[in-house]
Amino acid sequence: MAAEPGARTRVLLAEDEPTVAHVLGELISGDPSMELVGVARDAAEAAEMAGRTTPDVAVVDVKMPGGGGPRAAREIRERSPGTAILALSAYEDQSSVLQMLRVGAVGYLVKGGTVDQILEGIRRAVRGQSVLSAEVAGNVVRELAAHLARDERTSEQVEDRRRRVLSLLSGGGPDIALQPIAELATGRVVGVEALARFREPPQRPDLWFEEAAAVGLRTELEVAALRSALDRLPALPSGAYLSVNMSPAIAAEEAARETLAQTSSDRVVLEITEHAPVEDYDVLGQVLADVRSQGTRLAVDDAGAGFASLRHILRLEPDIIKLDITLTRAIDQDRARRALASGLIAFASEIGAAIVAEGIETREEIQALQDLGVEYGQGYFLARPAPEAPPAALALAS
């Protein structure tokens, strides 16, 4: 609801961490166009204060006690329907963001944003404009934009998505395509990556996983994909390993741990993407230690593309480092890519890891990679992902 011209924007802060509450409180009271009407420490208190003070904006921590941000947001809306709710989080947690939006938050701020970003976020919320933190990762922004664009976020739509994911799961999960990983010098197939494929829209695997996450079924979908992938192991050329994908957040989930415990072996490589942040290295480390003790090797996927590269790789101590497709692309024509790749290659040999280059599309890229000392690769130039398992060796026609 728009404040009257000249009137100060009345802001309620719902935040249980005292230091954050203090800093934000100071920030809001210090701005001449704003007035802090209260600071609530849990969801129930936030609802009560909102009912009493009917603020223009409520800034709500997504992880607060007493049912968390989503409960606080829901109850604030009930007691004070004119209040615009802004979710506040310590990190880019996609599922909390989506939950908050579903119960009616108009936007999202990341703690640690600049003073200006936070104040501007509050001003935009009161003008009825959507608020997106600049720090929210790209895929989250896409999801958010889609959500905010919909005026009516009906529970029917959520139910419909959920049903589609559940129906895929009850049908045995996604299809699997197999793409060989070959020794570049000989074409010998050393491994095969299993990739999830979807016949139904949105078809793109990343979008399917995002949709599943939005309806609380991400773990289920990842585990289904993992199981379907592991089923293909007997079809592989003898001696080739099966490389399966998993996001770091899922690795610690009970269902994933069970599947891994049942199927880990020295013919399995677990690829952990570098695109997603790792929230707890200790937990992830323990899970990975368990599967590695059964012979499973560990690969860092998409290296050079995402989060905290070297620190991440260093902590996971992988057996294999997969160079991201964006580093391989036209590497023969680009010194900067060669420099970055050669840094990663030196680092890999330092820690005793093998390098696999992803996304090779030309002979020239293979040559440049070999000149840099890369032994293994995969990509359309070698073979596209296909439903059937590849042969034991690829013909690298010259």
Binding mask 20-59 for ligand G (x = CB under 6 A): ----------------------------------------
Residue 229 CA to residue 224 CA, distance in Å, equals 8
**Token digits of residue 148:** 């905010």
User: Distances in Å between the alpha carbon of 136 and those of 7, 24, 90, 132, 318?
Assistant: 31, 19, 11, 7, 28
Is the peptide bond between 202 and the residue preceding it cis, with omega within 30 degrees of 0?
A: yes
User: Rule CB under 6 A: is residue 75 a binding residue for ligand G?
Assistant: no
Half-sphere exposure (Cβ direction) of 227: Cα atoms closer than 13 Å: 17
Ranges within 206-235 binding ligand G (CB under 6 A):
none
Question: Of residues 248, 359, 377, 390, which one binds ligand G by CB under 6 A?
Answer: 359
The stretches of the chain forming alpha helices (DSSP H) are: 18-29, 43-53, 68-79, 94-102, 115-126, 138-149, 155-170, 205-214, 218-230, 248-251, 254-263, 281-293, 309-316, 325-328, 335-350, 363-371
Q: How far is the CB of 380 from ligand G (least distance, A)?
A: 4
**Token digits of residue 183:** 């020794």
For the chain, the first-to-last Cα distance in angstroms comes to: 67
Question: Of residues 133, 245, 296, 309, which one binds ligand G by CB under 6 A?
Answer: 245
**Side chain identity at residue 155, one-letter code:** S
334 binds, among ligand G, Mn ion, none (CB under 5 to 8 A by kind): none
Residue (210 or 271) nearer to Mn ion, CB:
271
User: Rule CB under 6 A: is residue 195 a binding residue for ligand G?
Assistant: yes
Ranges within 301-340 binding Mn ion (CB under 5 A):
301
Residue (76 or 369) nearer to Mn ion, CB:
369
Question: Of residues 385, 393, 394, 396, which one binds ligand G by CB under 6 A?
Answer: 385
Ranges within 329-358 binding ligand G (CB under 6 A):
358
Gyration radius from the chain CA atoms: 24
The helix/strand/coil state of 9 is strand
Binding mask 223-262 for Mn ion (x = CB under 5 A): ----------------------x-----------------
Ranges within 268-287 binding Mn ion (CB under 5 A):
271
Residue (143 or 358) nearer to ligand G, CB:
358
- By the 10 Å C-beta count (0-12 exposed, 13-18 middle, 19+ buried), 172 is classed as exposed
How many chain residues touch ligand G (CB under 6 A)? 14
Residue (169 or 325) nearer to ligand G, CB:
325
Ranges within 55-74 binding ligand G (CB under 6 A):
none
Least Cα distance to 303 among 275, 262, 278, 270 occurs for 275
Q: How far is the CB of 258 from ligand G (least distance, A)?
A: 23
15 binds, among ligand G, Mn ion, none (CB under 5 to 8 A by kind): none
* 298 DSSP β-pair partners: 270
User: Rule CB under 6 A: is residue 321 a binding residue for ligand G?
Assistant: no
* Contact positions vs Mn ion (CB under 5 A): 245, 271, 301
* Contact positions vs ligand G (CB under 6 A): 179, 195, 245, 273, 301-302, 325, 358-361, 379-380, 385
